[in-house]
Chains A and B, each alone.
Chain A
Amino acid sequence: MIAAAALAILVAMSLAIVRALLGPTIYDRILAINLFGTKTVMLITLIAAMAGRADYLDIALVYAMINFIGMIAVLKFFEYGSLGHAGSDGQED
């Protein structure tokens, strides 16, 4: 069961990598990377389950967090061209 699950996740990850490399727009890549990130979270939980270690799940949580932050960062970069920009309803410079 677990083996099938692992295989499925890995296949999904490979497909995501293919899409990330093919593009063609930058948004496709971001989407693929996001998908890859969530699949990585699952892979880590699976490894934790295989090892029977609950504390490995912290790492999965970190992955989920980093995935989200990376997403925001890329979007921010893409929309505003700078990471420190406040946007129009924040404190304006």
Chain B
Amino acid sequence: MSGLGIWNYVIFIFLMMAGLYMMISSSNLIKKIIGLNVFQTSVFFMYISFGYVEGGAGPVLTEGVTLYTNPLPHVLILTAIVVGVATTAVGLALTIRIKESFGSIEEDDLHKMDPSI
């Protein structure tokens, strides 16, 4: 599993970078928000992997089970997922306002309209 474990992390990093790239290079605001979600989700994977214990049961106490996965990352990520959704909602609301007042949600267009943006 050790080899596979490293590959897990490598793929998470790949996902993170795909998300980050989408966030900073996409011109479309909604694509940016999708990228944000991809980026954050891959960070969540990383956290959950940190707490994973091979052969461990999910952290609900059951009789006869002694090996559990670590509950703490789960708690943290529950909170972080909520934060991600909240950010997404506010970002989408901003996108709607931008569309209504500029008529476009393309960063390139916005730049052309007003170079100071």
Interface, chain A (partner B; CB < 8 A): 51, 53, 55-56
- A7: shortest Cβ distance to chain B, in Å? 17
CA distance A56 to B57 in the complex (A): 12
A51-B60 in contact (CB<8A): no
- B37: shortest Cβ distance to chain A, in Å? 15
- A41: shortest Cβ distance to chain B, in Å? 18
Tell me the count of chain B residues lying within 8 A, CB to CB, of chain A: 3
A55-B60 in contact (CB<8A): yes
CA distance A53 to B57 in the complex (A): 9
> Chain A residues with Cβ under 8 A from B57's Cβ?
51, 53
Chain A, residue nearest B60 (CB) = A55
Q: Mark B60-84, 1 if CB is under 8 A from A, else 0.
A: 1000000000000000000000000
Any chain A CB within 8 A of the CB of B58?
A: yes
> Chain B residues with Cβ under 8 A from A53's Cβ?
57-58, 60
- B59: shortest Cβ distance to chain A, in Å? 11
> Chain B residues with Cβ under 8 A from A51's Cβ?
57-58
> Chain B residues with Cβ under 8 A from A56's Cβ?
58
Chosen A-B contacts, 7 in total, with CB atoms closer than 8 Å, are A51-B57, A51-B58, A53-B57, A53-B58, A53-B60, A55-B60, A56-B58
CA distance A55 to B60 in the complex (A): 10
- A44: shortest Cβ distance to chain B, in Å? 13
Q: Mark B79-117, 1 if CB is under 8 A from A, else 0.
A: 000000000000000000000000000000000000000
> Chain A residues with Cβ under 8 A from B58's Cβ?
51, 53, 56
